[in-house]
Every structure is written in structure tokens, then in C-alpha cells.
Chains A and B, each alone.
Chain A
Amino acid sequence: MSAIAYPQERPGLSDRYSPSWFRDLVRGDHVHRDVYTDPEIFRREMRLLFGRTWILVGHESQLPDPKSWFTARVGDQTIIVAREPETGRPVAMYNRCAHRGATVCVGRQGQSHRLVCPYHGWAFDHGGALAAVPYEKGYPEALDRSAYSLRRVARLEGYRGFLFANLSADGPGLMDFLGHMSTCIDDLVDRSPTGEVELVGPPLSHHYRANWKMSFENLNDTLHPGFAHAASVVAARAVESVVGEGNLVPSVGMMKANGKPIGFFEELPMVTTPWGHSYIGGHMGASYTGSTQSAYFQQLAAFHGEEKAKRVLAQDRHLMLLYPSATWHARYQTVRLVLPIAVDRTEVVGFVFRLKGAPEETFRNALEYCNGANSAFSPVISDDLEIYERCQVGNLQGDAEWVPMYRGIHQRAEDPETGRRSPATSEEYVRNQFAAWARLMGEPA
């Protein structure tokens, strides 16, 4: 291969924030560090990236009846998702009263007959239509109620119960955007012996003082665990030396799994698909106890047929990254939303799902992973948060402006089914994310 050179020139400074300038920040094997640190770039990402892609906002099980609603974030926008009264179909509205602009719904979710603004009592139905205005005769002429509904988000679509919002009416449909990644949603839902999954309890959230992209660039990085998580690998091995080999509880076993040699990860596949998505092969060695496994398989076989049930259980993908909004682990029934709060602040909201009808152990096993993968108290996650913050601060130092992302650039192969394949040790998923980033940020709005 030809030598990769450190980019010598700066991105075209004369037309900063122009489409061509954004495209110039991504060089294929390097990215300019401003993408992590410049507040103006962050502000434009909210419109050009988060405002024009499909953002995962929630799951239909959050709307169990006509009175239910929940709130979600799409970039810097807060939305309300509820079932439109006429059709029962989930719809998304901006969380802004049509009168003085107060947020109508507060909190994560709720149940109410109407969505009522607390300021002057304007009441909206669950489709956003203005249903009642107290002291209506005080408003000149008859109020044209239709002009004062809660504004709808351009698009809300579901795939197998998962709800995605798009603030823009233009651009690809949900299924085109998901492409091969829809199989990652199948991977979770097909594990249910009733075909249904259900979100359980409040989410477990953490945050960090760094850019949202840090999460996406870390989660498929199989080289960092041996370094960043070394102390918990050593700790897990120390516990194993006390309790005996093979006797680790799942949560400690998962810590130990981070210590596998690089050669192991090199053998795992990495799949990258258009629009910045990716996943890598599973490596946690997950299993249920024998009796649970056989009972669960019987249930799945009764629902899917034996062939498909085998296929579903044989599927083993580790983290799936649905750029730019969510990360996924189907085997552990968890979905995390990555919420950009500011250029240097990000919140990660972790949800856990129950496979309706499956043995209880499948839920407990998911919790063992979810606690460790989502908690700020986690001996593993706390390392990652520290790393993100060091990268954020470090990228403001000195005059070295370019971040290399060339690991594995010589190891990739095209794959007609999935897009592109690489070893799981590659940074191909980062290059793939920035290709989508440059495409969206570099398009005239």
C-alpha cells in the first residue's frame, strides 16, 4: 500500500462552515479535530445531521394506551410521542405550546386525558390538535384552532415496534436508511418467543464532558479494552483465582472478557454499512443455564419453527451502532440512545427490554450486562468516560490538528450483502461514520 501522509494543509479557512469546508475536514484516513471541539460545528450538526437522519426515539411499548405519551430528544429538539386519537398511530410533535411556547410535557413519560400547557391551560389532544382554550371569548374573533396545534415532526416511522423520528421531510425513508442494519432490530425482536419485546422500567443514564462522537468511536473499538479496562480485567482474574475457573458470575465474566488477546478480536468480523452504521461479531461467550436454554429453545421453535429458532440463537453480534443516535446489543436486550447536549457534553440513556414470554433468566442475564454497560458506577464504563474527557481536553492542545483513523484501512473487503467487511480491530467503522458525516454536513442545507 502507499504511505499515508499526515495532512499538511489546513481545511480551507477562507470559507469556514461552507459545505466544501465541512467535506474537507474528513480526509478518508484523517479527520480534523475541530469536529469534536468547535461549538459552531456542533450547532450545525443539530440541523444538518440530527435534523436530517432517522433518530431512534423510543418503542411502542412506551405507549400502552391512548392516554400515554413520552418525551424524547432529536438533536437539540424535545419532542412528544403519543398515539393520534383518530388512528391510534404513534405521532411525534415538538414539545412547544402553540401559545407562549412553554414546554407542554415534562418528565420522561406520563398518562393524561389531554396534553395541557400549565401556563394558560391550552389543551391539546394526543395528535397535537388544540382541543380547548380556557376563556376563549377573551381572544378576538373566533380562534382558528387548526392554526394552533402542536407542530408535528416531519416524519415518524416504526420498524418492529421501534420508533424513529426524522425532522426533515426530505431524504431517504427509514428502511433505506437502516438498510442491512434492520437485521439488528430483527436480531433483538426475533429473540422473543411471542414476537414482542417490552421496555422495562426507567432507563439507566450516564453522561460525560465530551463530544457525542466519542461514544460512537469507542464502542466498536476492540483495541482499547486491553489498555483502558486493564484494571478491571486484572480484578476479574483475581476474583476467578479465588472462586475457581468457570465459577465467575456473568457480570464479572464480562469484565474478564475484555482481556482477550488482540489476535482474538482480529478474527471477529466488522460490518460497515452506508449512513455510518456498523457492528462487530459477538465475543462475550454468553449462555443460559441448561434448563433455561432448552425451555427457551422449545418456545422459540414453537413460534418460529426449529430452523429459524436455531438461526436466531446462533446469531451473535456485539455492539451495533446505528449512526448517529443509538447503540444496540440484541443478545442482552439493550438499546442506548446517545444524546448530544453540547459540543463537550453527552448523555447516554440505556434501556432494557424483556422478551415477552421468555424464561425470566433471559431478563436477569440482560440486566447483568446492562448494569455493567450503562452505569456510571460500572468499573468498565467509568474508564470509558474518563477516556472521552481526556480526548476532549487533549484535542484542544497544541497545533497538531489531525486525528488519524487509518487502522485497518488496508484490511477491508467489499461484501455484496452487508456493505463492507473488515477485521474487528479495524477503524473502518470510524472512517465509515465520518464518510456519512461529511456527506450530510457537506451538502448545502
Chain B
Amino acid sequence: MSVPVTDMDTLHRVQDFLYREAELLDEQRFSAWAELFADPCVYWIPVDPAVTEVWQGMSHVNDDRQLLLARTHRLDNPRVMSPEPLPRTVHAIANVRIAEVAADGTLTVKSTAVVHEYRPRGYGDDDKRAFAGRVTHRLVPHGDGFRIAFKRVDLVDSEGSYNAILVPI
């Protein structure tokens, strides 16, 4: 494991990948988003920012491949009730940097995500919410791109309480 002098070509490819991930969520193409994940994979939003392992405590999200598929299948199902109409989001991704490069080519990537969400349900300003978090991706090379083996989102208010959240962060 080493911290490399940033290879700008790799950084651009990583940025492009993360922007594409954000775009799939904003376009509500949830199953296509799930396809970006490797098998096995972890998509994790912990409550306690201090934990280092997924089974140390409760999590807002602790998806393995199966749960990720169930989550996205539900959102893509026209019978789905609660997100009716589906929230619309903008995922703004920033501060992207490659933190580590493993010998097998796995990249540990740090970024920040600011998500603006609108749930058009007639509650006025209450329908607009913002989420912000620091994101860690572990990306494994796949063809000429990547797959997400691990994604952790540390929300700034991870110990706070939330109303229903449908679109992944």
C-alpha cells in the first residue's frame, strides 16, 4: 500500500466514474446504479462515525449485494407506494481524491457528497431537504472502468433522526 503521486489520468477516470454514479441516481435509474457495484459489495451509512466495521452497531444503511438489489428493485417497481411521486435529487460530488492504491489495483477514493432532495408532496418548504456526507469508495478495476466493492457515507448528522429517505446518497 502506498500513497501515490496522483496520476492525473486515473484521477480523471475516477472522477468521471463518481459523476456517472451520481447521474444515475439523479436520473432515477436505480437498477443501473446497482450494476456499478461489485459482487460481493458493501453500501454502508453508519450511525456512529467512530465505528470501523459494519457489524459494530446500527446503520442507516448496511447493504450487501442482496439488500442493494432488493432496495433498487423496489424503487424501480411501479407498485412502490411511499416514493409516490419519486423524490428528485441532485447529487453534487466534490473534493475527489485518490487516498490509496493497493497492489491489486484497488483504489480507495475520498469525496464529499451534497445532496439536494425534493419530494413533491405539498408540504411547501418542508419538501426540500439537504444531506451532506464524506464518502469513501473502494473501486476495483473492471474492464476499462471500475466496480464499487465498498462505499461508506458518513453523514454530518449521522446520529440525527431522519424522515423517510428513498434515493440513496
Contacts and interface: CB of A to CB of B under 8 A. Distances in A.
Contact of A201 (B51, B81, B168): B51
Interface residues on B, range: 35 or more
A352 B73 contact: no
Nearest to B164: A382
A153 interface: no
Interface in B46-89: 47-48, 51, 55-62, 64, 66-67, 69-71, 73-74, 77, 79-83
SS class, residues of chain B in contact with chain A = loop
Contacts of A236: 70
Contacts of B166: 382
A232 B161 contact: no
B163 interface: yes
Of the listed residues A108, A230, A379, the one surrounded by the most CB atoms of chain B closer than 10 A to its CB is: A379
Of the listed residues A202, A228, A255, A348, the one surrounded by the most CB atoms of chain B closer than 10 A to its CB is: A202
B144 interface: no
Interface residues on A, range: 35 or more
B123 A379 contact: no
A379 B57 contact: no
Given A231-B81, A367-B57, A207 B161 contact: yes
B77 A234 contact: yes
Contact of A235 (B57, B62, B64, B71): B71
Contact of B58 (A204, A234, A235, A381): A204
Contact of A231 (B77, B159, B164): B77
A232 B60 CA distance: 17
Of the listed residues A234, A350, A381, the one surrounded by the most CB atoms of chain B closer than 10 A to its CB is: A234
A364 B55 contact: yes
The 7 closest A-B pairs by CB, nearest first: A201-B57, A205-B161, A376-B162, A382-B164, A386-B82, A235-B73, A231-B80
Interface of A: 108, 200-209, 228, 230-232, 234-236, 238-239, 242-243, 248-249, 251-252, 255, 347-350, 352, 360, 363-364, 367, 370-371, 374-377, 379, 381-383, 385-387
